[in-house]
Amino acid sequence: MRNDIQTEDIPALCASCEARHRGICAALDAAQLIALARSSHRHRAGEGEELVGEEESIERYSNVLSGVVKLTKTLSDGRQQIVGLRFAPDFLGSPFKVESKLNAEAATKVSLCSFPRGAIERMMKEQPGLEHRLLQQTLKELDEAREWMVTLGRKTAAEKVASFLLLIAKNIDPSARPDRDKAEFELPLTRADIADFLGLTIETVSRQFTRLRADGIIAIENNRQVTVPSLSRLEARSGS
Amino acid sequence: MRNDIQTEDIPALCASCEARHRGICAALDAAQLIALARSSHRHRAGEGEELVGEEESIERYSNVLSGVVKLTKTLSDGRQQIVGLRFAPDFLGSPFKVESKLNAEAATKVSLCSFPRGAIERMMKEQPGLEHRLLQQTLKELDEAREWMVTLGRKTAAEKVASFLLLIAKNIDPSARPDRDKAEFELPLTRADIADFLGLTIETVSRQFTRLRADGIIAIENNRQVTVPSLSRLEARSGS
DNA sequence: CGATAGTTTGACACAGCTCAATAGGCGTGG
DNA sequence: CCACGCCTATTGAGCTGTGTCAAACTATCG
């Protein structure tokens, strides 16, 4: 199914791409990668840019190559909830159509590799491995969503904020290793985003940050640069 | 893929089964149904009975034929959150293994059609349509989970209870039809379950029920039998 | 340096929680 | 068929965590 030996055959673009190894494209062989690369294009989006409006979602699918994308839902009166975050090399855009509305917006600067809907669907027919991969990613997303439901429904504000920091640390700390208990990373979200993710207000989020800082669980520089000296101490506050 | 013409060929058990039409089994042809039926068995479970403990989840998969199953997650200190409800003809048991722990418990009397893990996985290899079907069910679940995240994170207690009643009405009112604005059903969950589903306490749930009753939005008989004279009036209170 | 957007802090209000008592439904056994 | 007991649901009173509103502070960028 994978064809790592013939690395020279795969498109140059894909050779160093993370999605090729850990993402959707890992299910494709060289020939399929070439076919897909023909109709794919890389592009960037700035913070706050909308990626998937109603219409566009149907048009194309993307791999997240870098940056963070937030998936949001909005009630009719404007209340908003972030229902998921996508990090590299996650897949973006749900296959087949889902009835309910969902927005995707760049939380940070983002780079994407996009292809038209049709290309993926055609490939799915001739390569069941791709659909299998998609199922796995969807199951992972479902699992994460359920985990977060517990956070939203049953945790206190303090636990929510700690859980959030752990999630980010796991997903974007470049120095992360299983044994390292320390973490450093730049927050990809504003306080407002964090509030929307946690079902809180920005003021409550801010107060919880202040408390974590006062207790030495985290240090923050320039509002965004976070240091966690001990992930296990942070985890102890996450209520899990 | 489906083979409705040769109805006489399919197993007697499956002939009248809802899962055969709207569930997972719709992806199978007569021969496959027969093969699967050989290793499947129907059984019942009483209210509160645990269906999927850690170990068992891996062992077998089931279709829900009647009744309601609740999927729960529990924090280390005992706080609980219901992360999903399964109604007939939903599928139960996640394919491949998911790392995180999830419990499935009968919320009402339940009847199931179960088969061993291996049977399904073998069939998935020879019948891509089955995996496709599974992907669709998973996408639907993901969508529902996200919808509920908004409810948990951003709605008031009153809106949560209204949303819950709408969800139940949609899924188990036998007399439901798109045009009918009235609904009648028996609540499949206790107040404690409802609280765990909504991220509230039983007292708050009870008070919201009382208010809905006082306002004529619902009528309740015997604590479980609910009448909703106007679903649209109920929906107006759901905050969506 | 000033403008702007984001963040922190404070004072206060209120939705929903806690604890406690009462009421209702339902099965069991006299 | 009633009486009892158990379990679930309701109601009440008071408390508290989080929201609201407003002001001060801080980064960032032209």
- Rounded average pLDDT over B14-42: 91
In this prediction, residue A112 carries a pLDDT of: 92
- Are A65 and A89 in contact, with CB atoms under 8 Å apart? yes
Mutate to test the interface with A, among B152, B159, B204 (most CBs of A within 10 A): B152
Neighbour tally for A31: CB within 10 Å: 11
- Are A197 and A160 in contact, with CB atoms under 8 Å apart? no
**Nearest protein residue by Cα to C1' of nucleotide C8:** A206
- Is B84 strand, coil or helix? strand
A72-101 residue pLDDT tens: 999 999 999 999 999 999 998 877 766 678
| A16-30, B17-31, B197-211: range with highest mean pLDDT | B197-211
Distance of CA A145 to the CA centre of its chain: 12
- Rounded average pLDDT over A4-33: 84
Residues of B with CB below 8 A from A240's CB?
75-76
- The span from the CA of A164 to the CA of B159, in Å, is 26
pLDDT band at B208 (very low <50, low <70, confident <90, very high): very high
Least confident range of A78-87, A93-102, B24-33, B177-186: A93-102
- Rounded average pLDDT over B96-108: 84
- Rounded average pLDDT over B151-164: 98
- Rounded average pLDDT over A36-60: 80
Q: Which nucleotides of D are covered by protein (CB under 7 A)?
A: 8-13, 17-22, 27-28
Residues with CB under 7 A from strand C: A 190-192, 202-203, 205-207, 209-210, 220, 223-224; B 156-158, 199-201, 203-204, 222-224
Is the Cα dihedral A66, A67, A73, A78 positive or negative?
A: negative
**Tokens linked to B86:** 């399964």
pLDDT band at B189 (very low <50, low <70, confident <90, very high): very high
Find, in chain B, the residue whose alpha carbon is nearest to that of A83. B146
- Rounded average pLDDT over B131-140: 92
A163-222 residue pLDDT tens: 999 999 999 987 888 899 999 999 999 999 999 999 999 999 999 999 999 999 999 999
**Residue B47: exposure state from Cβ atoms within 10 A (0-12, 13-18, ≥19):** middle
Residue A208 has φ and ψ, to the nearest 5°, of -70, -40
DSSP H or E run through A42: strand A41-45
DSSP H or E run through B114: strand B110-116
In this prediction, residue A81 carries a pLDDT of: 98
Judged against a pLDDT cut of 60, whether residue B128 lies above it is answered with yes
DSSP single-letter state for residue B80: E
Distance of CA A112 to the CA centre of its chain: 12
Top pLDDT among B100 and A145 is at: A145
Residue (of A200, A140, A146) closest to A171 by Cα position:
A140
Residues 161-200 on chain A lying near strand D, CB distance under 7 A: 199-200
- Rounded average pLDDT over B100-112: 91
Judged against a pLDDT cut of 60, whether residue B169 lies above it is answered with yes
- Is A95 strand, coil or helix? coil
A107-159 residue pLDDT tens: 999 999 998 888 888 888 888 889 999 999 999 999 999 999 999 999 999 99
In this prediction, residue A97 carries a pLDDT of: 67
- Are B83 and A143 in contact, with CB atoms under 8 Å apart? no
Judged against a pLDDT cut of 70, whether residue B4 lies above it is answered with no
